[in-house]
Structure 1
């Protein structure tokens, strides 16, 4: 997946509403807010010393005509003092803004992550992980850059423009009007032209990226390329893309040439024009001396540069406001009701489960009824198997039991009590799930097993691994329990990952167990080891088993056949195989005749 680039971030329109939302960031600065305002004071002082510099330079030049060496020495010392003060003010300004920003953004990052983790599954069903990652990385980085430097620089440039014009008007109103008529216009034109060229450069980068995709696809699928004898087709495809790159890059080069010519002719031409007009006014006596002319030229340069920079900074602030809005959209999402102290009041349940007239539709597909009047009972310690075609609603039953989604109708009772009357952590704390595709965290085997009970002792972890048939393969690794499993557990086989998941579930010691096709993707040897471990895990626990392989559920107390959201058949393996033209019997005949 392509990563978000800063240039790709959308901009927000700056109005009272968007600015009001952006100001909410100060809520997260907590006791660091003062640093921002003290930083603003140092910003004003930095700007004031910057504005004094051209005036003093002009006064220093005037000492030549007056041949006043003492005066020149005094002004030179004043200039050095001004520069020293500017350096000190800049240091404190930057330090304070960085300190304020980093502390505020760390609070926002934490609040954002905390809220994301607590959001319900219905939220994740409608959001892509890449988009959420972008909010935490690209959007927060945009805020970091803006609050650290952009806002301060924007205000500094604005002060320099306004202050510069005020001082210029005092030196020579005529020269100021002449400068005002051409320099800002040319500076803004240069910014617009420069932005157009950058967009053209981005087009070239995009085309290069597209050509790299062709290279990547060809090399990754080189077996297919060779097998279909399509080398010439791939070469032709790549050649076409390369020609497009050359065409765009040459055109971009021409525009850069135009831009260089524009800068030389117009921007420097403006400076020549202002200097010429200033000299004319000085000769006529309308400007007091060469010193004022030098000051005027320096202020003009300051203003021109500030006009050029302020437009880009305004765009960055727009992006930051947009980023703030997107971050606060996530922070405003309503989390699940999670009590962080639930562990101290943990209530063990027995595991008697009843589904009463349960009906459900996913929020994103409300018109499609996934479950329709589902009724069944699972008594403590029973094994209830769910079978049926993909999309029939088997995994949805497990999701509703875990309260990942809210019911549309009916109710689910555990030990005679509605699941909505349980604290969420207490409810889920009494359940464990072993999915088909186990995703482990990128730490050690010990950490992954202990995820079921973070406070577990070493003996408890070893016992869980032993019961899950995992200890043998764990001890075969040089690092044993401290073996790193890699991202998503990639360094372990499917069977090994399953047994780690079973050990994790054993350590949690749940009352209700959900097995979501836990052995469907394993080879025969791994399946045997995992199935043995699952038998240990299911002992004495209410187990909801979602299965495609009917051989794994022959001994279930009840088998529910789900068809289009309803329970069409219900009974033991023997009862269901005795039903004439039954769905389960047909599935059983198909699977066992092929095995």
Structure 2
């Protein structure tokens, strides 16, 4: 039992230190909130003494003047308490919102530094759940529940002190019941925290399923998979409900046991106090004040027991956020990055590269891969699926680090360049264009966030996209919807090419952008690509004949190796694998002569 308890304490300390780091910039507001919290609690404690004086000096002595004065004192204390409550509530709620916002920013900033390997393992929907639901829960706790817990703690401690001043004997009897009350808080509280973590994990899993099914809604509906997904979703919802039911049961037991034990203790002690009043050893005013403080203590303990479940639940959420914010970056920045010009020449060298994807160490992608690309040249990569073509792109941009060997850009190892400087040298046009749920202007400007509107228009003209953009309802201000649902495949590709033209980077990585287009769209996209590739070093994953015949050199890849290199004509004459690939994927008429293919 000692080891889990120790781990629990360590987790609690970690959570407190982590949250304190976010609260630190707002120390003045935090101290002000605590000050007003104490003022409000002390006001209520002072009210107990006023009640005592009203009973003993005003009511029992039949002194109307003293009674009137005490009533005015009570009203004054109430006004002070009201002002303090306003200030405390405003400041604590503001802190909750501010800390939650800062945590969201910190976690998001960190997420953008993680490599694709992390997102290949983690489901995006689960990450989003941690990012949104967990921070919202934390906001509620910092802004509300924590405030209630602190206020109640001050009230309980202050109430116990005032009870002691009123009657040390009765207070001693109350304190005897404290260990009994703390038992359910300790035992059930840890259980609530563990179940809260399980519940949050199941909610995150649910979010991941929703994200996945809605993202692929066309596939879901095309295969009439709605009812199957509904059953799957309903099962996950019930799993969430089952975890929540158990957590709620323990939390309800925690609250009920604390309130029951506290009230029973106070009733018994008040009964003894009433006997003391009858004996004359205690005044009616003193007993009234003692009961007032006892009820305040009981109410405070009840509030603490109520919010402790919420705090334990937030602890589980915070642990998940800490895990996300401390997820190690597997792509490290160099300690002393080499200075590099804004625009590289574009010489690329793969020198004896060996590489396996993380978590798949038994399946090497490359073993001793070597090739070079001269600045300004167009090089096509061809080969069967799984040959390693896309992996070349990922390694060039350091989305993954090689196991051995080195990749050079203009003679400098890319590991010696800052990630920012390195990735500024590449413009990527993927096979499936990425369109964001914003305007045409902002989608193109993604290649250069500071570009003027005129520069965006010029890039779109060069990408053969201006005409169709002008026909959209709001032109360049038209919102394109999630993942560009309002555009055709060819239009998406031309937006993507315009983005790369605007970025104006020296090395182009093109995952054949015309492979899935109709003839008209292909012609327009090809014209845009020709404009894009002028005076650039271009690496192209090729699926079409027009790409390879215009390449300065073709690299034929198979099982992570380069098995042949040359021009289209040279490879048609010398490489059986290339001829087979050309027959299956690059030409429509297998028996067509090579010279005629080139003419095309």
Same fold (TM > 0.5): yes
Aligned residue number for residue 276 of structure 2: 281
Residue among 28, 34, 39 paired with 2:28: 34
- C-alpha deviations, 1:437-490, integer Å up to 9, x for none? 222222211121122223333333222212212111111112111111122322
Residue among 128, 139, 145 paired with 1:144: 139
Residue among 477, 487, 495 paired with 1:500: 495
Aligned residue number for residue 597 of structure 2: none
- Correspondence 1:299 to 2:327: no
Matches within 5 A, 1:430-579: 430-550=425-545, 552-579=547-574
- Checking the alignment, whether the CA contact within 8 Å between 2:15 and 2:318 is kept in structure 1 is yes
Residues in 1 aligned to 2:261 and 2:579: alpha-carbon distance in whole angstroms? 83
Shift of 1:69: 1.4
- Checking the alignment, whether the CA contact within 8 Å between 2:251 and 2:309 is kept in structure 1 is no
- Matched pairs, number: 581
Judging changes above 3 Å, is the alpha-carbon distance between structure 1 residues 269 and 64 closer, same or farther for their aligned structure 2 residues? same
- Correspondence 1:310 to 2:304: yes
- C-alpha deviations, 1:136-178, integer Å up to 9, x for none? 3334334433333333332322222233233334444554455
Residues in 2 aligned to 1:319 and 1:246: alpha-carbon distance in whole angstroms? 15
SS of 1:15's equivalent in the other structure is helix
- C-alpha deviations, 1:407-440, integer Å up to 9, x for none? 2222222333333344433332222100122222
- Correspondence 1:69 to 2:76: no
Unaligned runs of 5+ in 1: 1-10
- Correspondence 1:168 to 2:156: no
Residues in 1 aligned to 2:204 and 2:108: alpha-carbon distance in whole angstroms? 32
Aligned residue number for residue 391 of structure 1: 386
Deviates more, 1:248-257 or 1:299-308: 248-257
Residues in 1 aligned to 2:278 and 2:45: alpha-carbon distance in whole angstroms? 26
Judging changes above 3 Å, is the alpha-carbon distance between structure 1 residues 140 and 357 closer, same or farther for their aligned structure 2 residues? same
SS of 2:514's equivalent in the other structure is coil
Question: RCO (CA 8 Å, sep 6+): is it higher in 1 or 2?
Answer: 1
Unaligned runs of 5+ in 2: 591-600
- C-alpha deviations, 1:78-128, integer Å up to 9, x for none? 211211222222233334444555555544444443333334444444444
Aligned residue number for residue 80 of structure 2: 85
Residue among 371, 374, 394 paired with 2:369: 374
TM-score by length of 1: 0.79
Residues in 2 aligned to 1:278 and 1:528: alpha-carbon distance in whole angstroms? 96
Judging changes above 3 Å, is the alpha-carbon distance between structure 1 residues 490 and 262 closer, same or farther for their aligned structure 2 residues? same
- Checking the alignment, whether the CA contact within 8 Å between 2:255 and 2:302 is kept in structure 1 is no
- Checking the alignment, whether the CA contact within 8 Å between 1:186 and 1:267 is kept in structure 2 is yes
SS of 1:37's equivalent in the other structure is helix
Residue among 16, 41, 50 paired with 1:22: 16
Residues in 2 aligned to 1:210 and 1:286: alpha-carbon distance in whole angstroms? 64
SS of 1:521's equivalent in the other structure is coil
Judging changes above 3 Å, is the alpha-carbon distance between structure 1 residues 356 and 188 closer, same or farther for their aligned structure 2 residues? closer
Aligned residue number for residue 403 of structure 1: 398
Deviates more, 1:396-405 or 1:384-393: 384-393
Residues in 2 aligned to 1:443 and 1:134: alpha-carbon distance in whole angstroms? 23
Residues in 2 aligned to 1:241 and 1:509: alpha-carbon distance in whole angstroms? 47
Residues in 2 aligned to 1:335 and 1:438: alpha-carbon distance in whole angstroms? 27
Deviates more, 1:328-337 or 1:372-381: 328-337
Residues in 2 aligned to 1:80 and 1:253: alpha-carbon distance in whole angstroms? 40
Residues in 1 aligned to 2:250 and 2:409: alpha-carbon distance in whole angstroms? 71
Calculate the aligned-residue CA RMSD, in Å: 5.3
Shift of 1:241: 12
Shift of 1:379: 2.2
- Correspondence 1:428 to 2:427: no
SS of 1:355's equivalent in the other structure is strand
Deviates more, 1:529-538 or 1:214-223: 214-223
- Checking the alignment, whether the CA contact within 8 Å between 1:383 and 1:543 is kept in structure 2 is yes
Judging changes above 3 Å, is the alpha-carbon distance between structure 1 residues 144 and 132 closer, same or farther for their aligned structure 2 residues? same
Deviates more, 1:67-76 or 1:544-553: 544-553
- C-alpha deviations, 1:8-29, integer Å up to 9, x for none? xxx9966367425633444445
Residues in 1 aligned to 2:157 and 2:410: alpha-carbon distance in whole angstroms? 74
Judging changes above 3 Å, is the alpha-carbon distance between structure 1 residues 156 and 473 closer, same or farther for their aligned structure 2 residues? same
- Checking the alignment, whether the CA contact within 8 Å between 2:125 and 2:205 is kept in structure 1 is no
Judging changes above 3 Å, is the alpha-carbon distance between structure 1 residues 589 and 48 closer, same or farther for their aligned structure 2 residues? closer
